Amino acid sequence: MAQEELDKAVSGEYALGFEIDIEEDKVPPGLNEEVIRFISKKKEEPEWMTELRLKAYHKWLEMEEPHWGHLEYEPIDYQSISYYAAPKKGPESLDEVDPKILEAYNKLGIPLEEQKQLAGVKVAVDAVVDSVSVKTTYQEELKQHGIIFCSISEAIRDYPELVKKYMFSVVPMNDNYFAALNSAVFTDGTFVYIPKGVRCPMELSTYFRINALNTGQFERTLIVADEGSYVSYNEGCSAPMRDENQLHAAVVELIAMKDAEIKYSTIQNWYPGDEEGKGGIYNFVTKRGLCEGENSKISWTQVETGSAITWKYPSCVLKGDNSVGEFYSVAVTTLAQQADTGTKMIHLGKNTSSTIISKGISAMKGQNTYRGLVKIGANAEGARNYSECDSLLIGDQCGAHTFPYLESKDAHGQVEHEATTTKISDEQLFYLRQRGITEEDAVSMIVHGFCKEVFSQLPMEYAVEAKALLNLTLEGSVG
């Protein structure tokens, strides 16, 4: 196959690049105290929240944008972004949701009608378009179990004590530049609370969609799993194809109490821009989980195929003794995408353990960086980490980089890191093709094999989606 055709194939087609034609309520671009007060007022927030937002804004003003990532991009003009956009019709029930949004979500494969279940499995969905949550399904059924699943705006109004206690407790508002910005201007997101001893009976899911022009999306997610509870949560996202870059700066905080487990899966498919690097989402995300109690567990699984720039490090602070942190990641960079992603595992408690499996795939002009920190504190007796970071390169214009930081202070701990960088070998391809498999299928087979360990961590219906997405992104990639 000629290189040109290959590149065409490898770039896939961004199938979710359509735009929803709905009326938007949008503030003019720019950021100042007025805008923050406006957002807070729109959300009907109590005074304390407004104050916290302003405090975060002032901290942000004093901070500098970080540039240590292995990323190159045009400077972001924070004053040219609109910080609030919402579909004009506020929904009260499903009947009142703008049919255009319903249609759009159907197009995305996310049904908002409760009777239409995703792949036959019950999944509760919180749908967020631009700055607001438009619909949360199955709320009633979840309530019977004592589970709170709602938009973060609702949570601020209805569960102020929980929000005050946990928001900013894992990711402080001045944790980093983008987290501070998010703390000031976050518009929506999801709040989940699982009470003691409850196993959440269905998958919870939030679907984020950037629709409006010139807007940023700044959602904030907070999940609290009380003692002995379990929840599996998934997020997906997409955006229309646009020539300019759009900023997405989210914050996710997870808290797992004693014996609790949170499984957090992401399929990130923001618009990646074109092969010249024009357009696409700048994705600067802070995700962190705190294993507060003994025997707690937080597991991050991510499949990152979209965005022009990805800067994200879903992390675990392993505070409780015997707590477990996991990070499974597939990151694909093709076209002119750049990703600097990885994790941090901070071992504080005794006998804590963490596993990192990272698979980076680079094609065309993609630059893929794994950056991870494993830190074993002096009191983390018997802590264990295993990391495996593998890179697969397709084509000779791309790059794959591995930057692990491994710090151990404990003589009874064990840190192991392994990394390899390979390309799809001609022998492998030939072998498969000799058996009658097309080149495209052979590549796909090899890539899927490469990612298998990570996909197996995803809930079944999402694994199917992830595989399809990977195929689409990498169609026929080797010559």
Q: Which CB atom, from 58 or from 412, has the smaller least distance to another protein?
A: 412
Side-chain half-sphere exposure of 80, counting CA atoms within 13 A: 9
Nearer to another protein, 345 or 376 (CB): 376
> CB of residue 402 vs another protein: minimum separation in angstroms?
4
Q: Which residue has the tokens 């939030």?
A: 206
- Closer to another protein by CB, 402 or 457: give it: 402
What's the closest the beta carbon of residue 362 comes to another protein, in angstroms?
8
Number of CB atoms found within 10 A of residue 50's CB = 17
By the 10 Å C-beta count (0-12 exposed, 13-18 middle, 19+ buried), 427 is classed as: exposed
Q: DSSP 3-state assignment of 78?
A: coil
What is the closest distance, in whole angstroms, from the C-beta atom of residue 408 to another protein in the complex? 4
- Closest distance of CB 133 from another protein, Å: 40
Smallest gap, in angstroms, from Cβ of residue 371 to another protein?
A: 9
Residues in Cβ contact with 366 at an 8 Å cutoff, skipping those fewer than 6 apart: 332, 333, 334, 335, 336, 337, 338, 339, 398, 399
Could you tell me the smallest distance in angstroms from the CB atom of residue 71 to another protein?
A: 13
Q: How far is the CB of 68 from another protein (least distance, A)?
A: 8
Tokens of 361: 């795939």
In the bound state with another protein, the residue whose beta carbon lies nearer, of 404 and 459, is: 404
CB atoms within 10 A of CB 95: 8
Distance of CA 463 to the CA centre of its chain: 15
Backbone angles phi, psi at 440, to 5 degrees: -60, -45
Question: What is the nearest approach in angstroms of another protein to the Cβ of residue 446?
Answer: 13
| Interface with another protein (CB under 8 A) | 70, 376, 378, 391, 393-423
**Closest CB to another protein among residues 425, 438:** 425
* Residue (266 or 334) nearer to another protein, CB: 334
Q: Which residues contact 127 (CB under 8 A, 6 or more apart)?
A: 101, 105, 110, 112, 133, 134, 135, 136, 206, 207, 209
Q: By C-beta, is 180 or 393 nearer to another protein?
A: 393
CB atoms near residue 292 (< 10 Å): 23
Give 2 or 411: the residue with its C-beta nearer to another protein: 411
Contact at 8 Å (CB) between 275 and 365?
yes
Read off the tokens for 271. Answer: 């618009």
What is the Cα–Cα distance from 413 to 385, expressed in whole angstroms?
8
